[in-house]
């Protein structure tokens, strides 16, 4: 299985390492044509405004939307989740508008800029190690969206069919269970 990691800005190498630890091939995606060669795409964390600008500059908005229309799985982590959201709170302009969620950026405040927890995912038999760095919160999830995890009453992981989003960074720990879950989604959608 070949999985792309959008390599415009952010935690690209870490996602590739996690994919390889799961036995998949991870490919840094720098040009839109490369999307034809992969089975799924990860949009990493970083800075969503920068990633959005670079996506526009290099034609990735249309290219990733058509990738999604083919039901190829996409996983956005942290800033990656922000750029996948249909709505951003505070009236900020959205980017890819793929997932039926409203996302608030930097939602944990200065006191808790970054922290690491064991996060219980709904229906999973053990928690996931999750690193939050200036993380967003999913303020509301609309029709078709399943909430996979909450933390202190806020939504931090969601799935909408072939789309997966997490507020946190699963690639900054040795716990590969989120990547394994995403690879399983790719298997389902390519069957």
Q: Where does this chain bind ligand GLN (CB under 6 A)?
A: 45-48, 78-79, 82, 105-106, 133-134
Alpha-carbon distance of 16 to 33, in angstroms, equals 19
**Toward ligand GLN, which CB reaches closer, 94 or 161?**
94
CB of 16 to ligand GLN, least distance (A): 17
User: In which residue are the tokens 């999604």 written?
Assistant: 68
CB of 155 to ligand GLN, least distance (A): 16
Do the beta carbons of residue 81 and residue 52 sit within 8 Å? no
CB of 188 to ligand GLN, least distance (A): 27
78 is annotated as an active-site residue: yes
99's CB contacts (< 8 A; 6+ apart) are 76, 81, 84, 85, 86, 145, 158, 160, 163, 165
**Toward ligand GLN, which CB reaches closer, 79 or 163?**
79
3-state class of 110 per DSSP?
A: helix
**Toward ligand GLN, which CB reaches closer, 47 or 116?**
47
**Toward ligand GLN, which CB reaches closer, 1 or 54?**
54
Catalytic option among 15, 95, 162, 169 = 169
22 is annotated as an active-site residue: no
Helices (H), 8-133: 12-21, 48-57, 60-69, 79-84
Alpha-carbon distance of 117 to 81, in angstroms, equals 19
CB of 132 to ligand GLN, least distance (A): 8
169 is annotated as an active-site residue: yes
Q: Catalytic residue numbers?
A: 78, 169, 171
């Amino acid at each position: 299985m070949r999985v792309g990691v959008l390599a415009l800005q952010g935690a690209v190498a870490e996602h590739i390492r996690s994919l390889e630890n799961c036995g998949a091939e991870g490919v840094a995606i720098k040009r839109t044509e490369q999307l034809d060669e992969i089975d799924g795409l990860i949009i990493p964390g970083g800075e969503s405004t920068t990633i959005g600008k670079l996506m526009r500059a290099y034609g990735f908005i249309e290219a990733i939307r058509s990738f999604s229309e083919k039901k190829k799985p996409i996983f956005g982590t942290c800033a990656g989740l922000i750029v996948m959201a249909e709505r951003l709170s505070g009236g900020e302009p959205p980017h890819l508008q793929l997932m039926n969620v409203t996302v608030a950026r930097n939602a944990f405040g200065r006191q808790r800029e970054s922290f690491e927890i064991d996060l219980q995912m709904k229906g999973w038999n053990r928690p996931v190690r999750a690193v939050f760095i200036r993380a967003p919160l999913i303020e509301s999830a609309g029709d078709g969206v399943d909430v996979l995890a909450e933390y202190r009453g806020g939504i931090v992981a969601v799935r909408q069919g072939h789309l997966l989003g997490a507020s946190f960074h699963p690639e900054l720990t040795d716990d590969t269970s989120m990547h394994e879950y995403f690879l399983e989604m790719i298997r389902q959608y390519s069957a």
